[in-house]
Every structure is written in structure tokens, then in C-alpha cells.
């Protein structure tokens, strides 16, 4: 754990993102991400590594699991996962 009182460990403002850090951002959503498992590379191949969606989601609403899951309580509907997924496995649908 970082000691936040220790100036050496907080030279710059760094935040470990966590689910719900900014409240229940799920209420902001007008588009929701829909996961299409048949297109996700992790489903298509057991050996594949990806989790680009997990890496990019600013709300930590996507899990680093196989397959990834999306927590709609915190997903704010920004669409970044859908844009970044190289396999078109996440599509945005109007709520």
C-alpha cells in the first residue's frame, strides 16, 4: 500500500482506479455497451490474450476475466471499450 502522507510516495498525483471511484456513474448512460461473445477473441481462441476493453474502460467497469463482463452500475456509456475493441465485440445500443 502507498503511504499517502509520505511525500516520496506521492510525488505526483497518481490514483489506482477502483470501481465506483466516481459514484454510481451508471446513471449517466444514454448508450449502453452490448458484449457480443461470438466476436470476442478470448472466446474464439483459448490461447488469445487481449483485455484491451478492460485496460481502456475509465470506470473500471469491465472485468479482466474470460470473457470480460461489464458492470452496468458503473458503466457510464462513454463507448471507449467499443471504439478500442479490435474485434468489434462491443457495440453501443441506445438505452
Give, as ranges, the residues between 1 and 60 that touch ligand SF4 (CB under 6 A). Answer: 33, 40-42, 50-53, 57, 59
CB of 93 to another protein, least distance (A): 26
Q: What DSSP line would sit under 21-70, residue for residue?
A: TTS-GGGG-SEEEEE-GGG-HHHH-SS----HHHHH-TT--B-SSSS--B
- Within 13 A of 95's CA, how many CA atoms are on the CB side? 13
- Interaction mask 58-77, ligand SF4, x per CB under 6 A: -x-xx-----x-x----xxx
Q: Per rule CB under 8 A, is residue 13 in the interface with another protein?
A: yes
Q: Which residues make up the interface to another protein (CB under 8 A)? A: 2, 4, 7-8, 10-17, 55
Amino acid at each position: 500500500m502507498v503511504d499517502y502522507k509520505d511525500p516520496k510516495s506521492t510525488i505526483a498525483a497518481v490514483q489506482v482506479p477502483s470501481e465506483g471511484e466516481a459514484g454510481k456513474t451508471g446513471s449517466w448512460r444514454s448508450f449502453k455497451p452490448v458484449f457480443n461473445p461470438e466476436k470476442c477473441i478470448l472466446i474464439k481462441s483459448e490461447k488469445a490474450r487481449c483485455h484491451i476493453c478492460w485496460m481502456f474502460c475509465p470506470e473500471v467497469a469491465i472485468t479482466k476475466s474470460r470473457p470480460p463482463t461489464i458492470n452496468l452500475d458503473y458503466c457510464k456509456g462513454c463507448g471507449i471499450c467499443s471504439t478500442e475493441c479490435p474485434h468489434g465485440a462491443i457495440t453501443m445500443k441506445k438505452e
